[in-house]
Amino acid sequence: MANALKYPHMKIVTPCNGYVGRFAPSPSGHLHFGSLVTALASFLRAKSQDGQWLLRIEDIDPPREVAGASDSIMRCLEAHHLFWDGDVVYQSNRSDLYNYYIQRLSDLGLTYCCTCTRAQLANLQPSKLCHCANQNIRPSNSAIRFRHNHSYQSFYDELLGDVDFSKHDMPAHFTIKRKDGLFAYQLAVVVDDLEQGITEVARGADLLDATLFQLALYQAFDKPAPKFLHFPVVVTQPGKKLSKQNHATEVNSNDVSTNLINALGFLGFSLPKELKQESSQNIVNWAIDEWDLRKVPAITECIDNRIGQADSI
Ligand SMILES: [Zn+2]
């Protein structure tokens, strides 16, 4: 962490006064229908407001990465006319930046080193602290945990309205750098959203509870949080998100129009019959014009079974 202060400021995109959104896939597999829906929804949300839509590859977990997945995701987005603004940001290039922000939290007394195993932390009541919190543990072979001084229980979502987690026992602290030296999702995503000037985080509702963790980090950094918007996620059965882990098949870029029509249908938009023979580019253009968040179903399916899992060890 000694070199971290070399990076006091590292803006990637100069925030404009307008909308800046993003799509941030992890390269743990190819783009499947569920991720295409999220990409399309966030793209339409940005483009319907003449905003920017940035692409960030969240490749901070090499063991979970699939070779060639980043390129495959980008080619698939391009095939569906979902063109991003600016350069692609790769999280794997930004370790110094993440360390700099961790140092800021440490300087504020908001971190501690933790040597607990995953099992030990899993057995801990969420509202309780592990014994490491009050010990002066050396950083080697330990995780860094964030000691937040304000935990959030609810927030306003642009689609779902007030989202209340007060009935859930949210973890008192959470990991921002893992024992194996990898950065935790919560830390990296907040740093990147801040540095890229994101004005609204529009993503799948499977990340709804992550918002509470992220709000605590914005508060600690003394920065205003972006708006949050969580789209419905495609499920294979109630409570089960369609994902790379349950063998979702790769989107076939040879059938772009059908994919777009199906994704739009999932989001509540029905293409007029006479437009179904139009080019896929025209379908996207139609969708930008027609985009209306009020048509999108406000569904939080597949949330409850993952409360608290937003922490990583
Ligand atoms: Zn511990």
pLDDT tens column, 213-262:
999 999 999 999 999 999 998 877 666 676 666 666 788 888 999 999 99
Is 53 or 11 the better-scoring residue by pLDDT? 53
Q: Residue 212 C-alpha to ligand 1 middle, in angstroms?
A: 21
Model-level pTM?
A: 0.89
Q: Residue 131 C-alpha to ligand 1 middle, in angstroms?
A: 6
Q: Residue 302 C-alpha to ligand 1 middle, in angstroms?
A: 29
- Please say if the pLDDT value at position 296 is more than 90: yes
- Please say if the pLDDT value at position 176 is more than 90: yes
44 vs 18: CA distance, rounded Å: 15
- pLDDT at 227 (0 to 100): 97
- pLDDT at 167 (0 to 100): 79
**Which CATH number fits the domain 19-108+184-300, given the four candidates 3.30.530.50, 3.40.50.620, 1.10.3720.10, 3.40.640.10?**
3.40.50.620
Lowest mean pLDDT among 84-88, 144-148, 252-256, 297-301: 297-301
- Please say if the pLDDT value at position 3 is more than 50: no
- Please say if the pLDDT value at position 8 is more than 50: no
- Mean pLDDT confidence for 179-205: 96
Is 243 or 119 the better-scoring residue by pLDDT? 119
- Mean pLDDT confidence for 57-73: 93
76 vs 280: CA distance, rounded Å: 13
257 vs 140: CA distance, rounded Å: 52
- pLDDT at 7 (0 to 100): 45
Measured CA angle at 180 (ends 178, 184), to 5 deg:
30
Q: What DSSP letter does each residue of 144-168 carry, written as one string? A: EEE--SS---EEEETTTEEEE-TTS
Residues with CB under 5 A from ligand 1 (ion): 114, 116, 130, 132
